[in-house]
Every structure is written in structure tokens, then in C-alpha cells.
Amino acid sequence: MWKIVLCLCIVVRISKGQIEDYTAVVPNVPNPVTQGAVTPTSIEISWPVQTPAVGQTTYEVTYTDGTTYKSVDIATSSLTLTGLTPNTEYTLTVVATTNAGSTAATDALVIRTAEDKPTAVRNLTAAFETSNYTVTVAWEIPQPTKGDITKYK
């Protein structure tokens, strides 16, 4: 007669005398999101790595200029957003996700891209008045201005 013996094996990790649970958990909200370098067309941001970091944690960064919403999925805790519009305010949030679920969004971070040099003036005209020897110069302001125009040369 044959006997069948079943063995149930459980793999656990013991660290510092404690059994670590490998069950995936929803990570903490990755606050605070901090601002790094800002240029006319880019914004650098970072946030704390999430703990407990059981399993793969990914991040969804959502940003808007008030009219266009975009999101980027990445596996690192920093990102440089590029292709942005100069002198424009962006609102950014980050959501951390594991296979157990997602966090709430971080507190919103509002960052304005830096100003850039303006484009050329448009429709430049000059009129000379011979009776009083004056020249009248007129133009349309550059579009887009890319910042506050403080003077013309």
C-alpha cells in the first residue's frame, strides 16, 4: 500500500527576527512633490520613494496648464517635463500605484515655467513727417510674448 504525503511549503523572509509579508500593499501618498530646475520649456520635479515598497511601484504624473491635461507613467521618483510653454503656470500631481492599488493624488504643486525672449515684433511700420521732421514708428506686439515685455530697442 502506498502512502501519499503532501507538503505545503510557504516561503517567507525573516529579517531582524521579523517575518516580512510579501503581500502587495497600496503605497503611501508620495508627498511632498518638490520643484527642481525650471526653464522656459521644462520643469523638473521629484518626490519621496514610497514605502512599503513591496512589489513594483509606478507613478502617474498628471499636469495641466488649465486647458490641456497630460499624464506620464514612470517607475522612478523624479521626472523632467519637457515641451512646455514659456511663462505658463502648470499644476502637477503624482499618484503612486502597486498591483494592490493606487494612492490618492499628492497635494497639487503649482509651478510657472521661466520667461523666454520674445519673438520678433510684427507689422513694423515707419512714417516720416517732413513738416516737423518726426518719424512715427508702430508695430504689433510679438505673439506669443513668452513673458512680460519690459522695453523695446
- pLDDT per position as a tens digit, 104-124: 899 999 999 999 888 888 888
- Looking at the whole model, is its pTM more than 0.85? no
Q: DSSP assignment, residue 142?
A: P
Q: Among 5-14, 20-29, 44-53, which stretch is predicted with the lowest mean pLDDT?
A: 5-14
Going by C-alpha positions, the residue among 105, 98, 132, 121 that lies closest to residue 22 is 98
Cell of 52: 512599503
Instruction: Count Cα neighbours of 84 within 13 Å in the Cβ-side half-sphere.
Output: 29
- pLDDT per position as a tens digit, 64-98: 998 888 888 888 889 999 999 999 999 999 998 88
